[in-house]
Amino acid sequence: MATTIKDQLSRLVQLQSIDFEIYKLTDEKNEFPKIIGKLSQSFEEKKKSVQNVDDKIKENLKNRKDKELELATKEESIKKQTSQLGALKTNKEYQAMLKEISSAKADCSVFEDVILKFMDESDSFKKDLESEKIKLQEEEKKFNQEKNKVANRVSEIDGLIKSLEVKRSEILPDIEKKILTTYERILKNKDGLAIVTVKNNT
């Protein structure tokens, strides 16, 4: 064990150098979950963009099918009314039926226009979906690359800390217990900096 104050101080300076490096590496490692969290959040938002477009496609298809059903129902009604024309006995009834058929055909025309609009929207949504999927693939690739970089750095940091802790354990026996206890208490409260250099009496 180092016996003189100078020896003790020399060991403490060595220990401080090691501890400060351990604290820096530990702080860096502790930041990685936040980094991964942000990357994950960004990736999830991109996934939502794809899902949103997919939801629009499904909603579009549902609305189109509803209109197609309305159109088919209306066309069936026109066929039925047209077949009944010959059975009408008065001109008034005949004209009234023609008016109903004409109105129904106008409705059909509107339905057809709406259906075409849905089809155009569907084509546009599908293009958007393909574009968003490509973006998502790129984001997933970047996300995995960043995760691998972080994992590799964490592994590297763990190795460095382990090596530093071995050096630390070699120094500890040479420091008096009372001095070491005081040092470690200050080290903990000062975030890894228990000893600093004196320059110009400061």
CATH number at residue 43: 1.10.287.1490
The pLDDT > 70 percentage for the chain reads: 92
Q: Is residue 137 part of a domain?
A: yes
Q: Is the pLDDT of residue 85 over 60?
A: yes
Q: Is the pLDDT of residue 192 over 70?
A: no
Q: Is residue 45 part of a domain?
A: yes
For residues 164, 170, 173, 175, the Cα torsion angle rounded to the nearest 10 degrees is -60
The confidence score (pLDDT) of residue 200 equals 45
Q: Is residue 78 part of a domain?
A: yes
Q: Is the pLDDT of residue 196 over 60?
A: no
Q: Is residue 167 part of a domain?
A: no
Is 102 strand, coil or helix? helix
Q: Is residue 52 part of a domain?
A: yes
Q: At what angle do helices 5-84 and 91-171 cross, to 10 degrees?
A: 170
Question: Do residues 157 and 11 lie in contact, with contact meaning Cβ atoms separated by under 8 Å?
Answer: no
pLDDT tens for each residue of 142-185: 999 999 999 999 999 999 999 999 999 999 998 888 888 888 88
Q: Which domain holds residue 28?
A: 5-154+172-189
Q: Is the pTM of this model over 0.85?
A: no
What is the number of domains present in the chain? 1
Q: Which residue has the tokens 């228990």?
A: 194
Q: Is residue 16 part of a domain?
A: yes
The confidence score (pLDDT) of residue 146 equals 93
Q: Is residue 196 part of a domain?
A: no
